[in-house]
Amino acid sequence: MSVLRALIAKPWIWSFVGALAVWLAAIIFTGGSGAGGMLTAALSLAVFMVIVGIGQMFVITLGPGNVDLSLPANIGLASAVAMKVMDGNDSMVAVGLLAALAMGMAIGAANYLLIWALRIPPIIATLSASFIIQSIDISYGRGLQIKPPPGFADFTNVQILGVPILAILTVVFTIAAAIALQRTIYGRSVTAVGQNIRAAWLAGVPVGRIRFLTYMLSGTLGGLNGALLAGYFRGANVDIGNEYLLASIAVVVIGGTSVAGGKANVPGVWGAALFLVLLLTMLNTFGVSAGVRLLVTGLVIVGVITAAGGQKALR
Amino acid sequence: MLAGMTPRRLLRALLPALSLTLILIGIAWLNPRAISYFGFTLMLNLAIPIALATIAQMFVITGNDLDLSIGTFVGFVGCVTATWLRDEPLFGTLVLVGAIGVYAALGALIHLRNLPSIVVTLGMSFVWQGLAILLLPKPGGKAPDWLLHLMGFKSPWVPFPIIAAIVIAVVAHIGLMRTSYGAVLRGAGGNPVAISRAGWSLLKTKVAMFALAGLFGVLSGMALIGITTSADANIGNGYTLLSIAGVILGGGEFVGGRVSPIGAVIGALTLALAASPLLTFMHIPPDWQVGANGAILIIVLAARALISRREG
Amino acid sequence: MAEADADIIVRLDGVEKHFGAVHALDGVDFAVRAGECVGLVGHNGAGKSTLMHVLAGTLAPDKGGIAIGGAAQSGYTVTLAQALGIRCVFQELSLCPNLTVAENARINHASLKGIGWRRRAGDLILAKLDEIFPGHGIGPADVVRDLPIGKRQMVEVARAFTVTIDPLRLVILDEPTSSLDAQTAGQLLAFVRRVVADGASCILISHLLGEVLENSNRIVVMRDGKVIAADKAAAFDRDKLVTAMGAAGKPVRVATERTAERDSTTPIRIRARPERQADGAELVAHEGEIVGLAGLSGHGQTELLLAIFNGAARRTDRIEVTASVALVAGDRQADGIFSLWSIGENIGIRSIAQLRKGMLISPASEDEFAASWQKKINIRTPDIRNNILSLSGGNQQKALFARALGSDARIVLMDDPMRGVDIGTKREVYELIRQEARGGRTFLWYTTETDELEHCDHVYVFRNGRIVADLRRDELTEEKVIQSSFQATG
């Protein structure tokens, strides 16, 4: 009984409960068929949400007002860069990945430069940057059929006993991120800054440097995501990242990370990603149209943030 | 008012008008024939819906919030205008009024639960988008005739878009800057504690701001369809960044309740010109026009930051 | 008794207000009659601010009664206070910086609406400005943000005296001349005298004793949450006020075992000059010293501490710091506490680099570190892993001390950290500070409680952002500190 109680007390449990509920609803509707396949597909798609979700989680944990809206454009550009560098050549896979990561890192650095030098709120800085990145992507990836190297594409689709290999790797990555958050100086500094930026500064935390690193991290993960998406969907395109704007914020919020900063919930990102993907899958199973999908996603976000509430007024 | 103006402050205040003048000079130089009645009507065509959306965003920014859903909201309104408003006017009107009500309710929600407006409006942007797609899965519909006549009005001497822009600017200016309650609304952005200590309800001010944003969003969507004649669910998507850019270009600030309605309209005009006509005349490829919008915003903010820093 | 009551605008009976262990108001009887100006003086922590907030309705007393115009009040709020004619000019400005002067006047008067409201609001505030500050040079269309602080203060004061619907019975002025120059301050005080002569009342809180003596009918002296002296203004003079505010002539207890062994080889750890210091005086601290910063709160001590904190990273021509610094915050909500973390995490944040095993922070080291400090500084908690807010205020403050003392910083800056802390906690920490100083750590201690200065080797008294006195341990008395804190004339 106390095990159950301890389990319920864990903040991330609810997103998993939600995911389970949705999966069950979908299975009931299909009469049990395809349950396993649904899970595998959900895991595959959730991976991409988790990767950028973790980056976004670190940014949001920095404190109110911090968010990275440049992710979709970042992902689109990174997918193009990765594919162009790899050039259909399996031996260039590593180089291509590195190029995408470097691109993402540069975008993150550029974002922070705008925030720091021009003192614009991160929302505006990353939003403006995203438009510029989009243009770069459109002109860079113009016309060419960018297909991934066959080995790379296959790798991203490999499954072991029905579990995608990318999912396994991402779970490992998630564990690493959780450890980093809790047990490294960097991670502690992020949560300190998010709780009270002034107290953090007075306690000796290098606030500027921490923010810089965090935006770079988010950018880098966006780059990684772009490359992997191009491999998985066997092709790069400008819009490949569009759904990840809301998705990256949604998995953070639904997963239990505080929007006010200072409290991150790493396992929750997975639970929320599964929940969202299964929700969309369920809606598809019900034969629901694109419009309803968008509507439901939006309402779920508004519902969750309303239920969670904002920072308690300090007055 | 000019008493406390240092040269730097004056520069800041005139920045919107200066930017507009620069753009006009650029256009005149690149394509002199554009500076004509016909040319302006064509170029500034879309300025009206952009200006209306910018004013909507301005109301939200006055209260230290941000509306990331205005773009898709305009798209939704456009779809309603091109379908229900034409075919079932009463129902269509009810839907639009209801939409304003939703905006007002959002304002109340944000105040009562102390929610971050970014996340709420981001979520709502998908709601509006979803609703728009449900209404018009494919581009279509037709604007009501009265709307077409209104937006296509050929005014004597001065191009209609310019007259409309002036009217919008004047109405918004009087409403926010000249009325007694407008002062309270702005004060709520500048020093909410003082306003609430003086006995005003911050809930009411927040709801008022969002309701006004909803109203102008509806007007923007209707105006847009009046020009494009038919609608599509994605038609307003760019208006989110454009509206934010317009407010900032117009001298507004994200926090502190400092906005300028006239500046915002000028900013919207500048962007309408820069967003397409100028870039086309400069032979900037369409691929880069999207990025140019982002670049313009950054350049303006950089200019402002430089001026402020030296002002100390 | 009855006619006297009708004359009394506001009366407080036995009012108490506690913030945790702190008795901000410890049974205060206070009354203001119509047509009188009451001067309220007292050193830090006397309770003046709290009293003002209770009168204005922003704070509810824990015990005691409030009567306005003879009628007892229950459920007294700001709105009620305003309707009954009680106005306040706080030290932090309550103008909206983005609005004009006239618009700010409108904010306070809901009846100024409809056609022509702007003209009427402008006329209202302008008339009052002209009445109080002739030649002020402020226009009703001036945006508040663009006005210098002195003019903003003038607008704030003038607005408090404007009348539309609610009557004007009592105006509370908290350090109203702090941002005004001599001429404008004189105008304000002359106006106050006129208004009082016409039948309104005023409470004047000021650290400028001359100002209080010249402009009050009665003076009330507070200390430690109590009224300790109240009489006609004519019965007081500067010295009497200073004596009353202090510990009634008791000398600062000189703790005997404190000797700062200092010779010519003891290195200087800090040299710092406040920004507004014109005469070149500077604060100098040697290794192992405990240096005190005294004076009324808000007179530049915190600014200098923060400048020194920044100076550790980057040397400037004003500040020179030769060792690492840590800071103990006084306003723990704003500057110190990480409210989502445990006690242990709050203590360890300054030292996480040392608590690592390899790349990662070792939970065992962290727990050990926190436990050792819990013992050393005696933090009362059943589990160091509980959330920090589970601690009492005093213990939270101890955790902040542990954070700084447990770090490797050789200099510890303390920003009035004992505010609102119980005496038991204080004693435990004082001993620890003395111990650490003997071990070679340097302490800069800004405190608003003159008693604490007994632990210092050296005290700098601040006034208006400058060092005005430099007192060695052996010449330190509370009277000297208070004297330097308060200006000689208004």
Q: What ipTM describes this predicted complex?
A: 0.88
Query: Could B133 and A130 be called an inter-chain contact, meaning their C-beta atoms sit closer than 8 Å?
Result: no
Strand partners, C293: C446, C460
B2 touches chain C (CB under 8 A): no
Q: How far apart are CA A213 and CA A104, in angstroms?
A: 12
Out of C20-29, C240-249, C390-399, least confident range: C240-249
| Mean pLDDT along residues C306-325 | 86
Pick left, alpha or beta for residue A229 (phi over 0 → left; psi -120 to 50 → alpha; otherwise beta).
alpha
Query: Could B130 and A139 be called an inter-chain contact, meaning their C-beta atoms sit closer than 8 Å?
Result: no
Q: Which residue has better confidence, B80 or A91?
A: B80
Rounded CA Rg of chain B = 19
Residue C488 scores a pLDDT above 60: no
Strand partners, C361: C356
Residue A166 scores a pLDDT above 70: yes
C211-254 pLDDT, tens per residue? 899 999 999 999 888 898 899 989 988 888 877 876 544 444 54
Give Cβ neighbours of residue C317 (< 8 Å, ≥ 6 apart): none
Helices of type H across C319-422: 332-335, 343-348, 363-377, 393-405
With beta carbons under 8 A apart, name residues in chain A contacting C329.
199, 202
Rounded CA Rg of chain A = 19
Q: How far apart are CA A268 and CA A272, in angstroms?
A: 6
Out of A104-118, B268-282, C220-234, least confident range: B268-282
Rounded CA Rg of chain C = 25
Burial C209-247 (b: 16+ CB within 10 A, else e): bebbbebbbbbbbbbbbbbebbeebeebeeebbbbbbbb
pLDDT of residue A16: 82
Please report, rounded to a whole number, the percentage of residues in chain B having pLDDT higher than 90.
Answer: 47
Find the residue in A nearest to B120 (Cα): A302
User: CA of C490 to nearest chain B CA: how many angstroms apart?
Assistant: 30
- Best B58, B180, B201, B255 member to test C by mutation, with max C CBs in 10 Å, is B180
Tell whether the torsion through CA atoms of A291, A294, A297 and A303 is positive or negative: negative
- Among candidate residues B270, B275, B286, the one with its CA nearest the CA of residue B24: B270
Q: How far apart are CA B45 and CA B67, in angstroms?
A: 24
With beta carbons under 8 A apart, name residues in chain B contacting A289.
133-134, 137
Burial of C62 (0-12, 13-18, 19+ CB in 10 A): middle
C36: helix, strand or coil:
coil
Residue C29: DSSP 8-state:
E
Mean pLDDT of chain C: 85
Confidence (pTM): 0.83
User: CA of C182 to nearest chain A CA: how many angstroms apart?
Assistant: 35
pLDDT of residue A260: 82
Out of A50-64, B120-134, C340-354, C462-476, least confident range: C462-476
B55-65 pLDDT, tens per residue? 999 999 999 99
User: CA of A41 to nearest chain C CA: how many angstroms apart?
Assistant: 35
Torsion of CA B19, B23, B25, B30, to 10 degrees: 160
Burial of B53 (0-12, 13-18, 19+ CB in 10 A): buried
Q: Which residue has better confidence, C68 or A309?
A: C68
Select the highest-mean-pLDDT range: B45-59, B279-293, C84-98: B45-59
B228-242 pLDDT, tens per residue? 988 998 888 889 888
Q: How confident is the model at residue A258 (pLDDT cuts 50, 70, 90)?
A: confident
pLDDT of residue B30: 81
Partner-chain residue, chosen from C95, C98, C110, that has the shortest CB–CB distance to B257: C98
pLDDT of residue B242: 85
- Among candidate residues B78, B191, B92, the one with its CA nearest the CA of residue B140: B78
Partner-chain residue, chosen from A120, A249, A291, that has the shortest CB–CB distance to B137: A291
pLDDT of residue C251: 47
Tell whether the torsion through CA atoms of C158, C161, C164 and C166 is positive or negative: positive
Find the residue in B nearest to A125 (Cα): B298
The answer to whether the beta carbons of residues C441 and C412 sit under 8 Å apart is yes
C360-361 vs C458-463, strand pairing mode: unpaired
Query: Could B197 and C78 be called an inter-chain contact, meaning their C-beta atoms sit closer than 8 Å?
Result: yes
Q: How confident is the model at residue C2 (pLDDT cuts 50, 70, 90)?
A: very low
- Among candidate residues C270, C309, C301, the one with its CA nearest the CA of residue C286: C270
Q: In what order do the strands lie in the sheet with C325-328?
A: C325-328, C411-415, C442-446, C290-294, C458-463, C466-472
Query: Could A133 and B133 be called an inter-chain contact, meaning their C-beta atoms sit closer than 8 Å?
Result: no
pLDDT of residue A108: 96
- Among candidate residues A205, A73, B32, A50, the one with its CA nearest the CA of residue C345: A205
Residue A315 scores a pLDDT above 50: no
Select the highest-mean-pLDDT range: B5-19, B275-289, C64-78: C64-78
Q: How far apart are CA B255 and CA B62, in angstroms?
A: 7
Q: How far apart are CA B1 and CA B112, in angstroms?
A: 37
Q: How far apart are CA C450 and CA C213, in angstroms?
A: 24
